Amino acid sequence: GAVVSQHPSWVICKSGTSVKIECRSLDFQATTMFWYRQFPKQSLMLMATSNEGSKATYEQGVEKDKFLINHASLTLSTLTVTSAHPEDSSFYICSARDQASGATGELFFGEGSRLTVL
């Protein structure tokens, strides 16, 4: 199946610093990628939809100035957590769908990035 690569898989940072997470589709092109957040023992919550070449669309309650998303190419989206605080500690997962499969194609997920803010 298609592969979505996410990096780093885990990161520990000090409060107030910024952290960048990368999401790459390795064998397909994705005009749209999705960023999810998952707290312990909870399900995935959609944070934002990343659109290649345009601004991301954020879900209600997600601060766009805190979670910066850039989708500069058809295979790469980045999520930057700015001025991270302990409450931002979470598991962040990206997903993507082959643009050739349209809106109903299978969704593939990265391995996730565990962020711990001290």
Partner 1 sequence: KQEVTQIPAALSVPEGENLVLNCSFTDSAIYNLQWFRQDPGKGLTSLLLIQSSQREQTSGRLNASLDKSSGRSTLYIAASQPGDSATYLCAVGRGYKYIFGTGTRLKVLA
CA nearest neighbour of 40 among 100, 103, 89: 89
Beta carbon of residue 74, minimum distance to partner 1 (angstroms, whole number): 15
Distance CA 28, CA 115 (A): 27
Residues in contact with 5: Cβ distance below 8 Å, sequence separation at least 6, in sequence order: 23, 24, 25, 26, 110, 111
CB of 87 to partner 1, least distance (A): 20
Give the nearer residue to partner 1 in terms of CB position, either 6 or 75.
Answer: 6
Site of interaction with partner 1 (CB under 8 A):
1, 6, 32, 34, 36, 42-46, 49, 91, 93, 95, 97, 103-104, 106-112, 114
Q: How far is the CB of 83 from partner 1 (least distance, A)?
A: 26
Q: State the minimum distance, in angstroms, from the CB of residue 36 to partner 1.
A: 8
Question: CB neighbours (10 Å) of residue 52?
Answer: 18
- Dump the DSSP string for 49-73: EEETTS--EEPTT--TTTEEEEEEE
Q: Which is nearer to partner 1, 100 or 103 (CB)?
A: 103
Looking at the Cβ atoms of 6 and 77, the one nearer to partner 1 is 6
Residue number, 82 or 99, with CB nearest to partner 1: 99
